[in-house]
Structure 1
Amino acid sequence: MDVLQLLERIDSFVWGPPLLLLLFGTGVFLTLRLGLIQILRLPLALKYVFTREKNSHYSGDVSPFAALCTALSATIGTGNIVGVATALKAGGPGALLWMWLAAFFGMATKYAEGVLAVKYRVKDANGQMSGGPMYYIERGLGNKFLARMFAVFGIGVAFLGIGTFAQVNAISEASAGTFGLPKIVTAAVLTILVTMVTLGGIKRISETAKRIVPFAAVFYILASIVVLVLNADQIIPTISLIVESAFNPQAAFGGTVGITMMMAMRNGIARGVFSNESGLGSAPIAAAAARTDSCVRQGLISMTGTFFDTIVICSMTGIVLVMTGALYDPNLAGAAMTNEAFNLGLGTQLGQYAVTIGLIFFAFTTILGWNYYGERCTEYLVGVKGIMPFKVVFIMLIASGSFIKLETIWVLADIVNGLMAIPNLIGVLGLSGVVVRETRNYFAMKKAACNDDALCAE
């Protein structure tokens, strides 16, 4: 048995029915306890995203919007392009429906994570805000062992999973295929840029994310919309096929491929979590840095991250892949498959440039976001003295990421993601009563004070 086969066995065990049930079940449980908050409060959450807090003297390192962009910088990455292609290749078109369902319920999980992050955050020795699962597990649940377990797995994801190899490899492969750039050149440039930004800490990372993330997302969405408009007659049949093949995968392949419903479900949920990170526990680390006096307000803002990431961007990629038929080409995989899908959709080879440019921006900001997550996990475990050694190792891994095999990268990323989710979900479930109480108090106060025009206008 080679290393890849061993990792695949470990991956199948980690992402078996128990973890899928825990992820999905946590989202369903919170959705019910919070009264469909992802539907009823989404308009308010979106309003908060695009309006500033009236007071700038609140505790925190960056603005709520900058905190969201930092979280989005870590979530909107290769999972939205390469991850969706990988999920649909392994699980058929129906995997996209499971991604949607996981994202819908994951919005409630992401909300709860954001609430707990702000409520239990602390200041480190450098005066920076530190928060996230390690703090709400320790300070809320009183369980240091689970908190430390999360931090260790969080560093593992930053080093071996989402934070380095998957992003760097995707950038180098896409740059080589589209622009003909040698991998060593891409690796060198990327290493220099990452070093320049990450050494500036959360403020420089958030400022960079605040500029790049909205631009990259709008650019990719507009390119996707053009494909959908040009192929408008195929939208309804494509969505019908996605829904049907979620429960009958053979429908999409004429009964010739042995994809099962469990494979569609597993790939959809696993890749969905890889992309939007709901339940993973990473986004609340960024949420904790927000300059705000309300954990509920920041929870609502955090919730929109899953909406933007999966419901909007992953959907665009998935529908284009199924609509154009690029999904069914046995010779294509990953970014190459998405490139070909956009080429076919636009009727020109320019499509690959839209995908590659979007991928480069998405993956670059994901690297920045995960550098911050890993730094905060390191600070929790060993204090501020561990931050610089962490950054040095992280930058070295960025430099070598272009030369690792893609199959090994995705399996390794899946494993550490799953391990990271377990202690976080235990913490979220254990503190769900706190989330419900904070939510009820916030909206009760908001309703009671509605004679105040300023508060109502908010």
Structure 2
Amino acid sequence: MNLALLETVISNISDVVCGWPLIATVLVLGILTTIMLGGVQFKYFLDSWRFIFAPAKQTAASSDAITPFQAFINALSASIGNGSIAGMGVAMFLGGPGAAFWILIFGIFYLSIRFSEVCASCLWPQKEPGAVLGGPMSYLKRFPYIGSALAAIYCVFILFYTFIAGSAMQSNSIGIVLNQLTGAPLILIGGVLFCALLYIAFGGSKRIMMAAEAIIPFKVGIFFITVIAVLVTHYTQIIPALILIIKSGMSWQSFSGGLVGVGIQQAMSQGLIKTINATEAGVGTAGILFGATEGQDPVRNGIMSMSTAFISNYLVCFVIMLCFVATGSWNSGLQSTALFSATISTTFGWLGCWIASFLALSFGLGVAVAYIFIGKQCWMYLTKGRGITLYNLIFCFAAAAGTVGSISIVWNLVNLVNAGLIFINVLGLVYLLPHLKKALKTYTIREKRNN
């Protein structure tokens, strides 16, 4: 089987799996978690922000654990990457403005799913030498008969996703940007990136957390200044843009920037799969991060984590889509990062491509740093805490290879792995919903008593 045929086969399978099967799975899980948990995303929405801006005094439960705020920062960093920029550009090209409408709808359910996976991850943490391990693997083990197998498969999938999407793909974007800006050879950029990530990785959890805490405020701040400026300069088009988004999202024959007459399934599918790639709701990575807090108040952690899904879905992904429509660049025929660059250039002129390049660089670096930790947790689960040096080297070599290599063939494979992670995660979350409901009820009673 030649490479082109293999790519076609993977693409066709991805199109089927990431269509209605994935849409239905996420919708059913979102509805179930919303109903069973009493609308947790509405009831505790304000609390999720209060826990961020007015947090209780937090310390790591042990030297191997991280604090809930560190988990929040890294979950946010992992879910605001180049998938938010390039992914929204592709979603607009393939799904049209209607994809933005479905980002709004699905986002409601992302919050309850995020609460569920983080709360469940913190309920049953386990300790290995040098680490506290939580995440979907910790609660998938409780699934009858096949729980251990599900947990192991989940970790293998996460490691694949870590080395390809979290390392190689991010460094590929970084390499392209730095090559265009500086003219430096890709092999030199790959070498520098290898050394930088190796330094962070071998510094352990503490150094990873410090790097993430330095990167995330900077990249998020620049991003919001940029998109707010774009919307302010096109403020007269915001209402018409919202009307177009709603109309095309509810029409069975949606508008599209790249394809004429794209249907509602395409708009829904693109809105769903691209925001799942961006927000990682249902994938379980946020649970891995919060699970490393050694079970500090699982319900509170779950409530706090909802804000990460809200920020990445509504304040990043949807705002980017709104900028596309308000500026009129959505029907330019461009896609991916090129569409984002053209959009902000309507406000910043020639400076737009530089801003887009800087954001791609900082977004990619932030995701890579977060995934050093995420992948390491799953590696330690599978190896019982052994071989961390080997893991660090593989991650950094993947980053270096991604800088100089072509990775186009694995995009659809990554979508399939993403879908597989969600399908596996759904089994554990649905099975454990009664436990989550009980934990939330206990928390609610305790809070009422304390107040």
Indicate yes or no: 2:421 matched with 1:417: no
Q: How far apart in 2 are the matches of 1:206 and 1:265? A: 35
Indicate yes or no: 2:274 matched with 1:271: yes
Greater shift after overlay, 48-57 or 165-174? Answer: 48-57
Counterpart residue identity of residue 90, structure 2: T
List gaps (5 residues or longer) in structure 2: none
Partner of 2:403: 402
CA RMSD of superposed structures (Å): 2.1
The one of 49, 64, 72 aligned to 1:68: 72
Q: How does 1:127-206 map to 2 (within 5 A)?
A: 128-139=131-142, 143-160=147-164, 162-206=165-209
Partner of 1:95: 99
Secondary structure of the 1:123 match is strand
Q: Would the alpha carbon gap of residues 255 and 310 (structure 1) be closer, same or farther in structure 2, given more than 3 Å must change?
A: closer
Instruction: Give the conservation status (yes or no) of the 8 Å contact 1:151–1:377.
Output: yes
Q: How far apart in 2 are the matches of 1:291 and 1:104? A: 28
Partner of 1:426: 427
| Cα deviation, residue 206, structure 1 | 1.4
Partner of 1:454: none
Counterpart residue identity of residue 120, structure 1: W
Counterpart residue identity of residue 442, structure 1: Y
Partner of 1:328: 331
Greater shift after overlay, 99-108 or 225-234? Answer: 99-108
Q: Would the alpha carbon gap of residues 327 and 174 (structure 1) be closer, same or farther in structure 2, given more than 3 Å must change?
A: farther
CA deviations over 1:384-417 (Å, ceiling 9, x no partner): 2132212211111111113444642421221111
Greater shift after overlay, 295-304 or 58-67? Answer: 58-67
Counterpart residue identity of residue 393, structure 2: V
| Cα deviation, residue 178, structure 1 | 4.7
Indicate yes or no: 2:125 matched with 1:124: no
Q: How far apart in 1 are the matches of 2:206 and 2:257? A: 52
Q: Would the alpha carbon gap of residues 443 and 242 (structure 1) be closer, same or farther in structure 2, given more than 3 Å must change?
A: same
Q: How does 1:221-232 map to 2 (within 5 A)?
A: 221-232=224-235
Q: How far apart in 1 are the matches of 2:437 and 2:192? A: 46
CA deviations over 1:285-309 (Å, ceiling 9, x no partner): 0001226631011111111110111
Instruction: Give the conservation status (yes or no) of the 8 Å contact 1:174–1:335.
Output: no
Indicate yes or no: 2:351 matched with 1:354: no
CA deviations over 1:294-342 (Å, ceiling 9, x no partner): 1011111111110111110112211112222323223x33112211110
Q: How does 1:334-413 map to 2 (within 5 A)?
A: 334-344=336-346, 346-405=347-406, 407-413=408-414
Secondary structure of the 2:283 match is coil
Q: How far apart in 1 are the matches of 2:181 and 2:342? A: 11
Q: How far apart in 2 are the matches of 1:141 and 1:226? A: 53
| Cα deviation, residue 101, structure 1 | 2.0
Secondary structure of the 2:141 match is helix
Secondary structure of the 1:372 match is helix
List gaps (5 residues or longer) in structure 1: 451-458
Greater shift after overlay, 173-182 or 432-441? Answer: 173-182
Greater shift after overlay, 312-321 or 256-265? Answer: 256-265
| Cα deviation, residue 357, structure 1 | 1.5
Instruction: Give the conservation status (yes or no) of the 8 Å contact 2:254–2:263.
Output: no
Q: How does 1:11-30 map to 2 (within 5 A)?
A: 11-30=14-33
Secondary structure of the 1:129 match is strand
Instruction: Give the conservation status (yes or no) of the 8 Å contact 1:274–1:417.
Output: yes
TM-score by length of 1: 0.92
Q: How far apart in 2 are the matches of 1:278 and 1:107? A: 8
Q: Would the alpha carbon gap of residues 159 and 249 (structure 1) be closer, same or farther in structure 2, given more than 3 Å must change?
A: farther
Q: How far apart in 2 are the matches of 1:401 and 1:116? A: 34
Q: How far apart in 1 are the matches of 2:259 and 2:109? A: 32
Instruction: Give the conservation status (yes or no) of the 8 Å contact 1:93–1:249.
Output: no
Instruction: Give the conservation status (yes or no) of the 8 Å contact 2:154–2:421.
Output: yes
- Aligned residue pairs: how many? 446
Q: How far apart in 2 are the matches of 1:449 and 1:141? A: 37
Q: Would the alpha carbon gap of residues 215 and 57 (structure 1) be closer, same or farther in structure 2, given more than 3 Å must change?
A: closer
Instruction: Give the conservation status (yes or no) of the 8 Å contact 1:53–1:292.
Output: no
Secondary structure of the 1:374 match is helix
CA deviations over 1:112-167 (Å, ceiling 9, x no partner): 111111111111122x210101111114656111111111111111122x212321
Secondary structure of the 2:387 match is helix
Q: Would the alpha carbon gap of residues 305 and 229 (structure 1) be closer, same or farther in structure 2, given more than 3 Å must change?
A: same
CA deviations over 1:421-453 (Å, ceiling 9, x no partner): 211111011101111110110011110122xxx
Q: How far apart in 1 are the matches of 2:281 and 2:258? A: 33
| Cα deviation, residue 103, structure 1 | 2.1
Q: How far apart in 1 are the matches of 2:71 and 2:152? A: 24
Q: How does 1:37-52 map to 2 (within 5 A)?
A: 37-52=40-55
TM-score by length of 2: 0.93
Q: How far apart in 2 are the matches of 1:295 and 1:287? A: 9
Counterpart residue identity of residue 344, structure 2: F
Q: How far apart in 2 are the matches of 1:241 and 1:31? A: 29
